Copies of this chain bind each other. A is one copy, B any other.
Amino acid sequence: MEQKNLHVAVVGATGAVGQQMIQTLEKRNFPIGTLTLLSSERSAGKKVMFKGQEIEVQAAKPESFETVDIALFSAGGAVSKALAPEAVKRGAIVVDNTSAFRMDENVPLVVPEVNEEDLKWHNGIIANPNCSTIQMVVALEPIRQAFGLKKVIVSTYQAVSGAGAQAITELKSQAKAILEGASFTPEILPVKSDRKHYQMAFNVIPQIDKFQDNGFTFEEIKMINETKKIMHMPELEVAATCVRIPVITGHSESVYIEVEKDAVSAEEIKHVLKEAPGIVLQDDPSEQLYPMPADCEGKSEVFVGRIRKDLDRDHGFHLWIVSDNLLKGAAWNSVQIAESLLKLGLVK
């Protein structure tokens, strides 16, 4: 990687993902000369540690992006829509972790293990996919390359940290109340801005994001559309059911796929995944070895296991995919995109 002293900005620096972005930039020793931390007016003034120094968070405004080389956005779609074009206008490359630009045909949607090449046609903004999509395509792409891919059906088991820091607090305080027999009032989950809120501790909520008119949630449609875009497969059949469960960090996915090639074995799938970038194969039933969110928290890889051939269809396989939704699902994928931009010489 070319060493530069870049000016990097993190927008949403006090949020659950923003905090992970800052820690990941530090851990990766990303070549930063200046780090600007931005947030809403409400969080401005807070102090955040980076490489042993305190940095004061400032309220984000168009002028904040003067001299910025790379801006990592994770402060909600409205902030990205308003400020990402302002950052680009001032010469920054934006890596946006919201859904604001993901399906914009002028914006590449990138998971470096899958479609790093798409960075080459960026127009200032690069979109970071939805957390549940990222971990799935990392596992699907090597299978597609080796055996082709026709169909995907996924049911998710998603952690509350995907709904932000307030959702983590709500899950913990609810669990405590239930264990103590105390009362509580749900206020955040499943969707803070939706009308009804439900118990999350010791419960399952089959709603992530709001509903579309067709009965699917936006989260489900994101998984469907983003998977097709990232993998360059508009014809791929993808179906998703997205479900929130009482886990703090780490999304799990039960995935059924159908490959193109005949007579593929589960062992061949395992072999391909074992050699693939960004994946840790954890698949040994005789040792009760399979991925679980409690083991994946804080790790940057995608963990895959429970790989088995369908008992009815020669082309069918089942997989179990787990990853830290705040890292590979968000902060790490964003920083990884920034590293790819440097590697490809795309940062002027």
Contact with B along A282-318 (1 / 0, CB 8 A): 0001111011111000000000011110111100101
Contact of A247 among B153, B176, B204, B206 (CB under 8 A): B204
Is A214 an interface residue when CB atoms closer than 8 A count as contact?
Answer: yes
Complex-state Cα separation, A102 to B269, whole angstroms = 34
Number of copies: 2
Chain B residues closer than 8 Å to A196, beta-carbon distance:
287-288
Complex-state Cα separation, A205 to B254, whole angstroms = 12
Is A248 an interface residue when CB atoms closer than 8 A count as contact?
Answer: yes
Kindly provide the distance from the CB of A248 to the nearest chain B CB, expressed in whole angstroms. 5
Contact with B along A176-203 (1 / 0, CB 8 A): 1001000000000010001110110011
Contact with B along A234-271 (1 / 0, CB 8 A): 00011101010111101010101000000000100000
Chain B residues closer than 8 Å to A332, beta-carbon distance:
none
Nearest opposing residue in chain B for A160, CB measure: B202
Complex-state Cα separation, A250 to B237, whole angstroms = 31
Chain B residues closer than 8 Å to A239, beta-carbon distance:
256, 310-312, 316, 318
Complex-state Cα separation, A153 to B216, whole angstroms = 18
Kindly provide the distance from the CB of A189 to the nearest chain B CB, expressed in whole angstroms. 11
**What is the total number of residues of chain A having a CB less than 8 Å from a CB of chain B?**
60
Query: Is B243 in contact with A157, judged by CB distance below 8 angstroms?
Result: yes
Chain B residues closer than 8 Å to A203, beta-carbon distance:
247, 292-294
Contact of A153 among B176, B179, B211, B256 (CB under 8 A): B256
Query: Is B245 in contact with A157, judged by CB distance below 8 angstroms?
Result: yes
Contact of A198 among B202, B206, B294 (CB under 8 A): B294
Is A232 an interface residue when CB atoms closer than 8 A count as contact?
Answer: no
Is A172 an interface residue when CB atoms closer than 8 A count as contact?
Answer: yes
Query: Is B246 in contact with A206, judged by CB distance below 8 angstroms?
Result: no
Identify 14 residue pairs between A and B in the complex whose beta-carbon atoms are under 8 Å apart, listed by A's number.
Answer: A151-B312, A175-B179, A199-B292, A202-B294, A203-B293, A204-B292, A206-B290, A206-B291, A207-B288, A214-B311, A215-B266, A215-B307, A239-B311, A239-B316
